[in-house]
Structure 1
Amino acid sequence: MDYKDENQHNTLNKNTEEFEKNEVTNQASNQHFTKETKNNDTFADNHSTSKTKNPKNKSLLHFVLGGISGGIVSVILIIALVFTNVIPLNNGGNKGSSSAEENKSPEVIETLASEDADVATNIEETSKAVVGVINMQQQNIWTESEEAGTGSGIIYKKENGKAYVLTNHHVVEGAEEVEVAVNYSDKRLKAKVLGTDELTDLAVLQIDGDKITTIANMGSSKDLKVGENVMAIGNPLGMEFANTVTKGVISGLDRSVPIDTNRDGQPDWITEVIQTDAAINPGNSGGALVNGNGAVIGINSMKIARQEVEGIGFAIPVDAALPIAEKLETEGEIKRPMIGITTAAINQVPPQYRMNFPLPENVKGGMVIAEVQEGSPAAKAGLQKFDIITKINGKEVTSILELRKLLYSEASIGDKVEIEYYRDGKKKTTSITLEARDNAEENTGQ
């Protein structure tokens, strides 16, 4: 299936003043998909995948508590778990968007191979390095894979005859096949997904580099200033409007946005992003946020999608994205620590059943263990079902978001952490050595 190239930018001007005269901003229509998180601020992933087919449904929970006394309590805890995030970060179900792997400031990758491709030096050239990413899914067993949605991607490197595309995890999630469309060729290129990461909402694709003539100039998000002019390049509403450029400013830096990665209505991660008022519409996800020189400073990822809100979009800072891209390219995944439990916040348990989980009045809350994985660090440390974890390394843990932040941002694989917990109303402590999560196996724990 061929896509026509979007030619509206073939006379792009080389400076911002001329660009303002020709800019065309395409607004998203209500009939296209824009995903919303259901926290109080109604943050929504632009997911900016322009959908043409509904993605496949995926289950939320793959375990049953049983074989213990107090069956009613177990059932209630399962219900609580369904409405809190207990799904692991990797190989997840519903689409999501997120931030960098850690809050630590990663070292920026300053040099990327380009081989015989030119490195973009202005907006027009950068637009050539922004591609369409087409998510192909098989709707039933009798048909071939069909287009399920489209997003954007950035060609950030060309090496050994291959080109590498950085995009969002949610753009390619669930795809049986992925295709890439460049704006100077009618032919789609088959893409290999080298790795994806749900938490950071990033993915890396590999394509044949023979027809790739330009790679993006990957800049830095380190010295950005509020009010600085920026432009968003992508494919809003699909390939019909390929390589659309919209202009705005940096509206805010270091924004912390709560993200609901599994769409259960509870935020389970905080992503640090750049805020911009440049128009970002469905289909823009994975595209480039660039400065006036055409250097990529961010990867467009999401927006606030509410009827009364305009011009609040977000991009993953390039300084956080590039180290993740390097790991996905070489290792295929981001390894994070685990303790080996399935858990839910105690405030999700109905009040009439909380008597089964006694806590002192001065304890604000905690995480009830629903299951301990056999052979896990938690099992080795003696933790049991229905223990209530209240602190990790002396810091209070009252939500899945706090638990993940402590594990993924403040600890590493191999670290020993101190766990404070309550069992039958009595405070206990134990030490746990964190192990790597096996991303190849689906699990429901932390």
Structure 2
Amino acid sequence: MGFYNNPERRSSGLGIAIISAIIGGLIVLLFTPLFIRSGVIQLPTNQTQAPTAPTKVTTVKVNSNITQAVEKVRPAVVGVESIRKTGGFFTNEEERESGSGIIFEKRNGKALVVTNHHVIEKARDVRVVISTKDEPKTVPAKILGKDKITDLAVLEIDDQYVTTVAEFGNSDVLKAGEPAIAIGNPLGFTFSQSVTVGVISSPKRTFQANEYISTEVIQTDAAINPGNSGGALVNVAGQVIGINTLKIAERGVEGLGFAIPINHARPIIQDLIKKGRVPRPYIGVSFLGNLYQFSDLELAELKVPDNITGGIVIESVEANSPAAKAGLQYLDVIVAINGKAVNSVVDLRSYLYSKTQIGSKIELTFYRDGKKQKTHLVLAEAPPNLTE
């Protein structure tokens, strides 16, 4: 019998083969990760890796109505610096305040700037700061005229650095919701020609601007901050539609800014250029106050009927004034002008300044000793220092 026909030898060889296979498998399992990491074994993949594209820098040129409007009018918006003397007679201390202004005219080597009266009020020296490509240029300014009632003033400067003149628009056609752009110097010259954008919240809002007059203003939610006073409120055509004048800064209040409508400002600006002030009609009386401010005892002395709650009480009548010629007296209570009720001194002045002219004949309704009376008078021109 040969070697290969031995049953015992066949059985021993089979066991060795099985053990060898097991050992080999273990070796493969143990060393395969090492071979993969070292690159000896490469695993096949069905994923195709996308080629890496080079990084591209894209420049977007923005050319909207807003940017065009700003580019058109922004160079005409300037800073206004007001220098006031403070301290006693023997001191030279100064106080500087800043605001904004709008260059609106250029002729004969001069340029005209409109700003707010309160920006330059009581100023010993006024300067205008013009932004140029190189650096801001500060030039001295002359006050041509100012008006406290409308809070407007006009300055004159040399036009050496002036490159742009603002165009006035039409504030009578404004609509609530249309874009509004405010340009000015909030918080001083560090933020000169800052641009804020909002909408027209109300094109005509009656607002008591000061102790003299209640007037119409433009309300906007475009941010207006201290230093913006006198700056431009602009439409998307790059036209000035208002002169920024104030904001309500109470705690918790946002987006309540106001501007003088440019159509209201135009005639005032022309008067300030030509005359240095705004001639206004006046009656020639001073007042004790509004009727609603009086006590019950005082009302009893005035003998005004109980159903009359609005009116103004005369304190004095100037000699030779329209009121004196019309027969008005101390403690007369004026309740209407040309048939329109007046509840306060502001109401009366607002009507006089906006609805009448010097030389106009008006009718006043008043109570004297409890009796209703009427009189007529011709309005004269107010003295120059009446509201200064």
Q: TM-score range by the shorter chain?
A: 0.7 to 0.9
How many angstroms does 1:14 deviate by?
6.4
Where 1:272 maps in the other structure, the secondary structure is strand
In the TM superposition, residue 305 of structure 1 has moved relative to its aligned partner by 1.3
CA distance in 1, matches of 2:83, 2:62: 35
Equivalence map 1:296-445=2 (5 Å): 296-343=240-287, 344-440=289-385
Structure with the larger RCO, 1 or 2 (CA within 8 Å, 6+ apart): 1
Q: Displacement of 1:300 after TM fit?
A: 1.1
Higher strand proportion (structure 1 or 2): 2
Q: Indicate the percent of aligned positions where both proteins have the same amino acid.
A: 48
Q: Where do residues 140-155 of structure 1 align in structure 2 (5 Å cutoff)?
A: 140=87, 141-144=89-92, 146-155=94-103
Match in the other structure for 2:76:
129
Measured in 2, the distance between the counterparts of 1:353 and 1:198 equals 33
Pairs aligned (count):
324
Aligned partner of 1:130: which letter? V
**Residue pair 1:249, 1:277 contacting (<8 A) in 2 also:** yes
Q: TM-score, normalization: structure 2?
A: 0.78
Query: Within 5 A, what are the aligned runs for 1:23-172?
Result: 122-140=69-87, 141-144=89-92, 146-172=94-120
- The aligned counterpart of 2:171 is 221
State the match for 2:40 in structure 1. Answer: none
**1-structure distance, mates of 2:351, 2:136:** 48
Q: 1:142 to 1:14 in 2, by over 3 A?
A: farther
Q: Which moves more between the two structures, 203-212 or 139-148?
A: 139-148
The aligned counterpart of 2:51 is none
Q: Counterpart of 2:329 in 1: which secondary structure?
A: coil
Gaps of 5+ in 2: 1-60
* Partner SS state of residue 167, structure 2: coil
Deviation (angstroms), 1:165: 0.2
- Helix, strand or coil for the counterpart of 1:385? coil
Counterpart check, 1:211 vs 2:161: yes
Q: Specify whether residues 16 and 308 from structure 1 end up closer, same or farther in structure 2 by C-alpha distance, changes over 3 A only.
A: farther
The change in CA–CA distance for 1:336 and 1:309 in structure 2 (over 3 A counts) is same
Give the distance between the partners of 1:233 and 1:169, measured in 2 at CA.
18
CA distance in 1 between counterparts of 2:242 and 2:306 reads 46
The Cα of 1:157 is off from its aligned counterpart by 0.5
How many angstroms does 1:441 deviate by? 5.3
Cα distance, 1:122 vs structure 2:
4.1
Q: Return the offset for 1:368.
A: 1.1
- Who is 2:31 aligned against? none
Q: Would the alpha carbon gap of residues 217 and 428 (structure 1) be closer, same or farther in structure 2, given more than 3 Å must change? A: closer
CA offsets 1:369-392 (integer angstroms, 9 cap, x no match)? 111112211111221111222222
> Structure 1-normalised TM-score?
0.68
Given candidates 183, 194, 211, the residue that maps to 2:144 is: 194
Distance 1:14 1:413 in 2: 52
Q: Which residue of 2 aligns with 1:230?
A: 180
CA contact (8 A) 2:302 2:369 kept: yes
Q: Structure 1 355/222 Cα, relative in aligned 2: closer, same or farther at 3 Å? A: closer
Q: Which residue of 2 aligns with 1:273?
A: 217
Could you tell me whether the CA contact under 8 Å between 1:193 and 1:204 is conserved in 2? Answer: yes
| RMSD over equivalenced CA pairs, Å | 2.2
Residues 324 and 433 from structure 1, CA distance in 2 versus in 1: closer, same or farther, beyond 3 angstroms? same
1:240 counterpart = 2:187: no
2:364–2:374 Cα contact (<8 Å) kept: yes
CA contact (8 A) 2:146 2:154 kept: yes
1:18 is displaced (CA, Å) by 8.9
Give the Cα–Cα distance (whole angstroms) in 2 for the partners of residues 205 and 18 of structure 1. 28
Between 1:170-179 and 1:152-161, the stretch displaced more is 170-179
Deviation (angstroms), 1:338: 0.7
User: Helix, strand or coil for the counterpart of 2:171?
Assistant: coil
Deviates more, 1:221-230 or 1:395-404: 221-230
Contact 2:292 2:309 in 1 (8 A): no
Q: Per the alignment, in what secondary structure is the counterpart of residue 266 of structure 2?
A: helix
